[in-house]
Structure 1
Amino acid sequence: MKPAEKISGTQLCLLIFSFIAPIVILIIPGLESKSSKQDAWITIFPAVLIGSLTIWVMIILSNRYPGLSIIQYSSQIIGKWPAKCLGCYFIYYWISYDFVVLNQHIQFINTVLLMRTPGIVVSLTLALLCGLAAYMGIESIARSNEYISLLIFVLLLPLLILMLAESDSERILPVMSQGMVPLLQASIFPTAYLSQFFILGWLLPYLNQPKKATKVSFIALLLITGILFIAIIPLIMIFGPITDNLTFPVLEVIRYIGITGSFERLEALGVAIWVMGCFVKDALICFIICLSVSHFFNIRNYRDFVFPVTLLGAIGSVSVFKFYSTDLTTLLKYSYPSYAIFTQFILPLTLLMIDTIKRRWKKSVV
């Protein structure tokens, strides 16, 4: 059964952009610089390759099973019970990622804006707004994101231009001074985030013109890559070797611009970009979790799960990391990249390979 809600190609492009770009720009440069130093910008190239392959895999699968999400068509590829196990894993992955996103939001807000506000208050405030958006449906999220993504562009581009004025090109030299190994090690961080085009497995059934899926997905990849380049290169040329010591390096650049330039307190723009990006990201995650659970149990109305998923996300974002004494930065640096690439790229690619082999085998038998 095809979904009743529909989104346009432009809305899909902007949804992917807002889902990936804002948080990637504020977090990834610091993680990359720890391994690759001034060559961090080069690590984007392998990430773009994996991002492109992820798009290709998800679109081929969607074309073969139109109107179905990856939870639904996986049963036709690998069978009912293996697909149930895979569906459980996908649901677990999105729930755990929901915890990570909300915990990132807590750390960012407590570091930059509201230092003494309890984490549960920060998390629950965002989670309730995102839950409301998910309850309204993918069309509502997509329409609100049209304005949000425009605001992100309007706020982000002037900041990036101001960053160029404070840059020193000598700090980006020498190129590839440490060889290829540190570059390949550091490339795992942007790769983990650019493989998040995996969400096409849930969003493509809602696209009103499926033929535009490839075009709009690659436009989104181009936009994200371009802005990531524009953010990383001036960042290195401003802070140089101390970039890897900063948790939110782009935010520190914005603060630096505000002190030495004509404007003050520009970090408020960075906070606005972060909050808007987190809203769209977590609203989509909440929607995907609820949709996955409804498809898993063959329940038509995914909205029945919005409220419990919202509460689970808010409570889990505070309690899970505290209970396991896990530092979020350590998780994002050592565990999440390989975990994300396996889930977002390797598993869909495996589904595609199995499906292709089955189709060729059936043709040979006939």
Structure 2
Amino acid sequence: MTSLINARKAGSVGRITLNRPEALNALNQEMVDGLIKALLDWREDDAVKAIVVDGAGGKGFCAGGDIRMLAESGKKGGAEAWKFWRDEYQLNTLIFEYPKPYVALIDGITMGGGVGISVHGSHRVAGDRTMFAMPETGIGFHPDVGGAYFLPRLKGETGMWMGLTGARLKAADSLAAGVATHYVPSDRQEALIAALESADLDNDGETLEDILETHAGDPGDSELAHLGGLIDAAFSGDELAVIKERLQSAGDAWSARQLSILNSKSPSSCAITLAALRKGAELDFREVMAQDLRVSMRLLVEGSDFYEGVRAVIIDKDNAPHWGPQIQSEAVEAMFAPLESDREQSFLG
């Protein structure tokens, strides 16, 4: 049986390749377990100076999590989904707190769970095939895996725009947003990996930076770099209705397009996402991960839009979800209350 995580040491690098290309390397429980084991082993291994993670198949770094499993688990009480999210969020936290350089080669589709195992690391290397997004509001969910931590810490309201609309960023825009730290053209990424594997990396990371610089290229112009004013004007504040009103009255093509996109998303998910990101701006990483598990479980157990989104996008693929009405502010706030003590998020230490 082929392992879905190919973890091995190559020189002074701990190498991980996500090996589920037929699913665009979307994470399942086996993959989360394998990533945690490798990272814990190498954290204490003085011979490993850096971690390098990529995805097999050439199309996707990691397109998310096992959405179908999560929905099926929810219908049976949610125990399997709870374990997956708890462990996935432990993995996200392990990466965020990792004491060694963590290089994610996000040259391909990087969404949802794939963002969680890349954006919290020290180095995120975009390529020509990069497509970076948090599209959860389109399936009645929320930007979990630490989205409520990194999105509100991007420049201005860029993160709120991304979280609400599921905006897809290519390489240049990923750099402009700050979700990518480097750009290496796709046709140089194999050479980059070879150079990292053969290098005698040092503890201060200088050799790693030199190798990345040697293989870097020019990603071209970023459209996002010119949209900051429009994004900040539209997506500030705490009220979804006000954001939509601003987009409606802006009178430009970009704003009209964003309103159309926003209106296609789950209204309740958007309201919850807006609140989650505003709260997350004031929380530390572990607090955000605890918040993520609370919101995820409540959307699974108490909500209906998630199941409708999975039906429309994953199962029937008609891309025509029938969303419920937007929940009221009191119901939004209730999503963030603590779970039962034995269901709260825990960490690996």
Confirm or deny a common fold (TM above 0.5). no
Give the structure with the higher percent helix: 1
| Higher Cα radius of gyration | 1
Instruction: Please report the TM-score for the alignment, with normalisation by the length of structure 2.
Output: 0.29
Q: Higher relative contact order at CA 8 Å, sep ≥6: structure 1 or structure 2?
A: 1
Instruction: Please report the TM-score for the alignment, with normalisation by the length of structure 1.
Output: 0.28
